[in-house]
Amino acid sequence: MSENPNLLHVTDNDFDQQILKSAVPVLVDFWAAWCGPCRTVGPVVEELAGEYAGKVKVAKMNVDENKATPGKYGIRGIPTLILFKDGQVVDQIVGAVPKSRIKDLLNKVA
């Protein structure tokens, strides 16, 4: 995975600070290394991090390394993309979807 300066990697420990207290909307990609659809969506999420830089923060959370936050948000399938604004869930997508579908989600807040 390339190091994208527009992409955050969050953990259970910094989720509240980085996501819920963010001044701008945040898209969080809940994923795992063994998940095939996650590997499909991952590069798209990275692209969007660059395209929406300054408007929407984009973060990734590995569900295998962080159990509390996915549990709190009822993540049952991955990839799950959740859009947060002002600490609240705006919308979410479960599964591998086309880039256009993710852009539609981001355009609700961007």
Report the catalytic residues: 35, 38
- Residue 92, H or E segment: strand 88-94
| Residue 59 CB-density burial (10 A; 0-12 exposed, 13-18 middle, 19+ buried) | buried
Is residue 35 within 8 Å of residue 70, measured between CB atoms?
A: no
DSSP codes of every residue in 12-30: TTTHIIIIIT-SS-EEEEE
